[in-house]
Amino acid sequence: MPDFRFFVEGIEPVPRALTPTLRMRLRVVNGTPEAVEAIWLRCEVQIEPALRGYGAAEASGLQGLFGSPERWSDTLRPFLWQQVTAMVPRFTGTTVGEVLLACSQDAALAGTQYCESLTGGHVPIRLLFSGVALLRGAEGVQAAPIPWEIEARYRMPVAAWRGALAAVWPERRWLGLAPELFARLMTYRAAGGHPSWDRTIEALLAPEAARIEVA
């Protein structure tokens, strides 16, 4: 039976991708001598927010996810970022494969809210692996499952996540709205004669900004 171990050797933005994407270089080690014909790999990527500290600005941005910092001893729990699959080609002993991670700008997703709130440092991620390996031995090719208890951890640079977004949308952030709310926003923009969506949002936020300054 194979003896697999996995190690993340780096994560970097994919240049010229159609959508924001990170390339994770994954070192795969088999501690037994048989040739591995291929691995169909499934990877669950979790974010472990309790494994780093946060500045005041970051803590403010994270309250929508975890509540006030006084509650963080109870609320900073690991959460799912994404699930991905990858194919690892033939190797013996060890190889480096690639796993692609999507970076969504959907502000309704917990992973996006978390990463957007960070001003620097790293995103602590945990990877849980499963899948099937095809092994070539004396009796031919046989399939062996990859057990769920195999995992790896990595400190993904926040700069890598931001770089993936900047490679596709260098100066934009997107907000998904319900159709009826978007229609109301269009009416507001037209009535106010705002030349752009940026000016429209600025006009909406101005009263709130003034209230905060007075307080």
Q: What is the pLDDT of residues 98-110, one digit of tens each?
A: 999 999 888 788 9
CB burial readout 39-67, b (16+ within 10 A) else e: bebbbbbbbebeeeebeeebeebbeeebe
Least confident piece of the model among 17-21, 64-68, 170-174, 197-201: 170-174
Bridge partners (DSSP) of residue 42 are 85, 130
- The Cα 163–Cα 196 span in angstroms is 26
How large is the average pLDDT for residues 21-28? 97
| Contact assessment for residue 124 and residue 153, using Cβ atoms and an 8 Å cutoff | yes
Q: What is the pTM of this model?
A: 0.82
Counting Cβ atoms within 10 Å, is residue 163 exposed (0-12), middle (13-18) or buried (19+)? middle
pLDDT higher than 60, residue 55? yes
pLDDT of res. 29: 96
